[in-house]
Homo-oligomer: A and B are copies of this chain.
Amino acid sequence: MNGKRVRPSIRDSLLKSAVTLFAQNGYNAVSLRDIAKAAAANVGSITYHFGSKAGLLREIYARHTEPMNARRRELLGEARRISDLDERLMAILRAYVVPAFISSSESDGGGAEFTRLRAIMSAEGNPDARAIIADAFDETSRAFVDAVAECLPGASRESLVWRSQFLLGGLYYTLINPERVTRLSGGKAEGDNREEAIRELVAATFASFRSLSEADAEPAPVVTKQRKRA
């Protein structure tokens, strides 16, 4: 069905090793020999399967992008059916954040590792990556902003986009430098605890978006754990 035999092993372990190494050290810093060594394979096999280093990166994106976006669309669809605007907003935020942190059950799909890879690639600004990334995620982001907009009557498109930018930035940076959270909190918070990160990021972004609504008469529900009644 694929046009190619379903011989997995080497090709797959090359991809897996590449994702891990790229996500950890960036694209430039990792050599094809590093990848081959990690996959217990030969350098030549990379050229054979993927043509070039850029081709390898392209394949990685091809493998992960669609499943991750699909998962986001699915969750977004569910969220949109919630009638209460605040609850819906919260669900929308989770639909955006959760797939970026947690792999969608199957081995491929999004997950923290691939998201970290994306973060590093966007920072490195690598020409190879620029062309590949393209706007693979723009469509999803647009749908996300649209969905958020419906929850926030009166909010301007500009501010919604800005805040979605900060959301993505917070997401990326948390995956890139989680130790900072642990360090700065004196160990009271764990930067690499995914559930904790998701909860905090969603809560912070909720408040950030919520303040844009005209209807700020009703008290915004606070979801963070340390919430106390005064």
Contact = CB atoms under 8 A, between A and B. Distances in A.
Interface of A: 24-26, 28-29, 119-120, 122-126, 135, 138, 141-142, 145, 154-159, 161-174, 176-177, 180-181, 183-186, 188-189, 191, 196-197, 200-201, 203-208, 210-212, 214-217, 219-220, 222, 224-226, 228, 230
B162 A200 contact: yes
Contact of A156 (B163, B210, B226): B226
Most interface-central of A172, A185, A204, A225 (chain B CB within 10 A): A204
A228 B213 CA distance: 9
A168 B208 CA distance: 15
A208 B216 contact: no
A156 B189 CA distance: 10
A84 B124 CA distance: 42
B184 A138 contact: yes
Contacts of A122: 173, 176-177
Chief secondary structure at chain A's binding surface = helix
Most chain B CB within 10 A, of A125, A157, A169, is at A169
A110 to B, nearest CB: 18
A220 B208 CA distance: 12
A181 B162 contact: yes
Name, among A123, A142, A156, A203, the residue most crowded by chain B CB atoms within 10 Å (CB to CB).
Answer: A123
Contacts of A212: 222, 224, 226
Nearest to A162: B200
Given A26-B124, A207-B207, 19 more contacts: A25-B125, A29-B126, A120-B125, A122-B177, A138-B183, A155-B226, A156-B188, A156-B226, A157-B185, A161-B181, A161-B189, A162-B196, A162-B197, A166-B204, A169-B170, A169-B172, A207-B208, A208-B208, A212-B222
